[in-house]
Amino acid sequence: MFKKILILFIVVFFQSSSSYSREFNYEVYGLNLNFLNIKFNTSRNKLYSIINSKGLAGYFIKSKSIIQTTLNSKNNTLSYYFNSQSKKKSKTYNYKKTNNEINFDNIRFNKGKNFKEIFKTDLLNTYDPLSAVDLMLFNSSLDSKCKNSKKIYDGDDVYRVFLTQNKKNYLFIKFKDKKYKISFSCRLNYKAISGHKFKREEKLNSMYLDIYFSKISNNIIPVYFETNTKLVPLKMYLSTILTP
């Protein structure tokens, strides 16, 4: 369950720029403890994220994840890579797309009888998690109507994330020495398609992220996120934006 909550956090935070790069830093809190830090950078041909988990009161195992999407405009290819490491295990997922079509050679379609099989048709018109946000959240048409959705393949599962309107519960968000005026809020929802365990489908489809947007330097930026897990409520704050 936590892996999918983490994927939701990751999915929400990326945009690309054709003229410059930016680095964003977020801090995730549970039980008033900062247990997860997310750093991600956007540039013309690459999106990447580094996620460091400190563990949370014994609930979550300390881990580190790296996610990267690389674009090669010369041969029109996209490479997606995900790696997560902890003391107990390591997971790696990767795939390539050429002319917007996934190379099926390393795709695991059937994980076993307890999992919903992935079909090749499920992978049509999918985006990697990082590219999805570039098209979904950081575009000139994004507003309080929150109308957008994308089908995603993260190298393991296929699912759809979609925005719905959300009540703006906060006028301002304060975090340390920063104060952000909230323009509007959307809810990010999750819909499992294939690759997941059958018994987890109901829980996966109940996941959500409430996202609060602020206008910063004429850009709409997500500055605060919150959700509830089975164990603890999670909150994430924008801590820094670096523009080299």
Angle between helices 129-136 and 2-12 (to 10 degrees): 40
- How many other β-carbons are positioned within 10 Å of the β-carbon of residue 64? 12
Predicted local confidence at residue 138, as pLDDT:
64
Token code pair at residue 130: 């990082």
Return mean pLDDT, the chain: 81
Check if the beta carbon of residue 207 is closer than 8 Å to that of residue 196: no
List, in order, residues 6 or more apart from 15 with CB less than 8 Å away: 22, 42, 133, 134, 137, 138
pLDDT tens digits, residue range 105-163? 889 999 999 999 999 999 999 999 888 876 777 666 788 999 899 999 999 999 999 99
pLDDT average, residue stretch 170-180: 92
Q: What is the pLDDT of residue 57?
A: 46
Residue type, 5: I
38: closest CA among 51, 48, 28, 47? 51
Written as one string, the DSSP assignment of 161-213 is EEEEE-----SEEEETTEEEEEEEEEEEEEEEEESSBGGGHHHHHT-EEEEEE
Please give the pLDDT value at position 108. Answer: 93
Q: What is the pLDDT of residue 110?
A: 96
Q: Is the pLDDT of residue 164 over 50?
A: yes
Q: Backbone phi, then psi, for 200, in 5-degree steps?
A: -100, -5
